[in-house]
C-alpha cells in the first residue's frame, strides 16, 4: 500500500525525521528545488503538514494544498500558524503540550537562579583570575521573594510547583482567575509587577499578549526587579526592556526568547545583569524525542481517521 503523504515544512530533529520517512512519503519542502512542480503534481494529494510551532507554514503554501486537513506542529507554541486561516478552512492544528513542561520549567528556574546569583558573572570572575584579588559581591536570594508568573498554564504551574520548594512567595496573572489555585491572582500585570521582585513570563504569544510586558510593567517591576522571559520574544516590548535595563529602571533580565531570533539586541551583550539563552526551553534530548512522538501520534491518528491526541484549540 502507498504510504500517506506528508509535507515537512522545515527541518526538525534527525530521529524524528527518520521516523517520519519510515512511515510516510515525505516531501521536504525546504529542500525541493522545483516547488511549483511538486505543488502541481502532488499538491492536491497532501492532507498533512508537519512543521515546527515556531515556523508554521506560509499561508501561500497552504492555499496551494486544497485538501490540507492537518498541521501537526512540533512544539507547544503555535504562534507562527495563521490560526484564523486554518480555522476558516477547518484545518486542524496539533501541538506537543505537557511532555516539555518539566524541562521548560527547569530552564525558567535555571535562569532565575543564574540571574539572582550572578552565575555567568561568577564563572567569568573565576576564569579571569579575579578571585585571586578579592571576592564576588553579594547577590540576591529567592526565598520569601514575591514572584509573579504571567501565564499560569501547564508550564507556569510546573514552574510554580518547583518554586514552592525554593520558598518563593508566588502570585499570577492570566486572563482569568483560576478557582483551583491558591496563589493570589492579579487581574492586571502592572499591579502584579509592582508587588514583585521576580516576574516570570510564560504565556502564549498572540495578538492579545503582544508586548503585554510593556514599559509600564517594566517600570512597575523596577530597579530591584528581574524579568525572566521564557515565553516568546513578542510578549515583551524589547526596545523598552533594553532602555529600562540601560537606564537602571529595570534591575535585571534572564531571557530565553527574543523578538527577532536569532538576532539579539547587541546592547544586551555587555550588560552583566542580563543572562541570555538561545531559545532552548525544551532543548533536551529526551524531551525533544517525546515531542516528536506526539507529532507522529497525531499523524497516525489523523491518517487512521481517529480523534487527534493533542488538538490546539485556544
Residues that bind ligand NAP (CB under 6 A): 76-77, 97, 100, 104, 151-156, 174-176, 202-205, 208-209, 212, 230-232, 256-257, 279, 281-282
CB of 218 to ligand NAP, least distance (A): 16
DSSP 110-150: HHHHHHHTTHHHHHHHHHTTGGGT--PPP----TT-EEEEE
CB of 21 to ligand NAP, least distance (A): 26
CB nearer ligand NAP, residue 134 or residue 179? 179
| Consecutive H or E run containing 253 | strand 252-255
Q: Which residue is nearest to ligand NAP (CB)?
A: 153
CB nearer ligand NAP, residue 46 or residue 294? 294
CB 97 within 8 A of CB 154: yes
DSSP letter for 68, please. Answer: -
CB of 63 to ligand NAP, least distance (A): 26
- The cell for 189 is 500585570
CB 265 within 8 A of CB 238: yes
CB nearer ligand NAP, residue 43 or residue 156? 156
- Which residues are annotated as catalytic? 232, 261, 279
Long-range contacts of 302-307 (CB under 8 A, 24+ apart): 302/47, 302/48, 302/69, 302/70, 302/72, 302/92, 303/4, 303/48
CB of 202 to ligand NAP, least distance (A): 5
CB nearer ligand NAP, residue 46 or residue 111? 111
Amino acid at each position: 500500500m502507498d504510504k500517506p503523504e506528508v509535507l515537512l515544512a522545515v527541518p526538525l530533529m534527525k530521529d524524528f525525521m527518520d521516523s517520519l520517512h519510515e512511515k510516510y512519503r515525505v516531501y521536504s519542502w525546504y529542500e525541493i528545488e522545483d516547488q511549483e512542480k511538486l505543488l502541481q503534481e502532488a499538491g492536491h494529494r497532501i492532507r498533512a503538514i508537519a512543521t515546527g510551532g515556531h515556523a508554521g507554514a506560509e499561508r501561500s503554501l497552504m492555499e496551494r494544498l486544497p485538501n490540507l486537513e492537518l498541521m501537526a506542529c512540533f512544539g507547544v507554541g503555535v504562534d507562527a500558524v495563521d490560526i484564523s486561516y486554518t480555522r476558516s478552512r477547518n484545518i486542524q492544528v496539533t501541538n506537543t503540550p505537557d511532555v516539555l513542561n518539566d524541562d521548560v520549567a527547569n530552564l525558567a528556574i535555571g535562569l532565575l537562579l543564574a540571574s539572582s546569583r550572578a552565575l555567568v558573572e561568577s564563572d567569568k570572575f573565576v576564569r579571569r583570575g579575579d578571585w585571586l584579588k578579592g571576592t564576588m559581591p553579594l547577590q540576591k536570594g529567592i526565598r520569601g521573594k514575591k514572584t509573579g508568573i504571567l501565564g499560569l498554564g501547564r508550564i507556569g504551574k510546573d514552574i510554580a510547583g518547583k518554586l514552592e520548594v525554593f520558598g518563593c512567595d508566588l502570585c499570577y496573572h492570566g486572563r482569568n482567575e483560576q478557582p483551583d489555585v491558591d496563589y493570589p491572582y492579579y487581574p492586571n500585570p502592572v499591579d502584579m509587577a509592582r508587588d514583585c521582585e521576580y516576574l516570570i513570563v510564560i504565556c502564549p504569544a498572540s495578538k492579545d499578549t503582544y508586548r503585554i510586558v510593556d514599559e509600564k510593567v517594566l517600570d512597575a517591576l523596577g530597579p530591584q526587579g528581574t524579568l525572566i522571559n521564557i515565553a516568546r520574544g513578542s510578549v515583551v516590548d524589547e526596545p523598552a526592556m533594553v532602555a529600562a535595563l540601560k537606564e537602571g529602571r529595570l534591575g535585571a533580565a534572564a531571557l530565553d526568547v527574543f523578538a527577532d531570533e536569532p538576532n539579539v539586541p547587541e546592547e544586551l551583550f555587555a550588560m552583566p545583569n542580563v543572562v541570555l539563552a538561545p531559545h532552548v526551553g525544551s532543548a533536551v534530548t529526551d524531551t525533544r524525542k517525546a515531542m516528536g512522538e506526539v507529532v507522529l501520534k497525531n499523524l497516525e491518528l489523523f491518517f487512521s481517521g481517529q480523534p487527534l491526541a493533542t488538538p490546539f484549540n485556544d
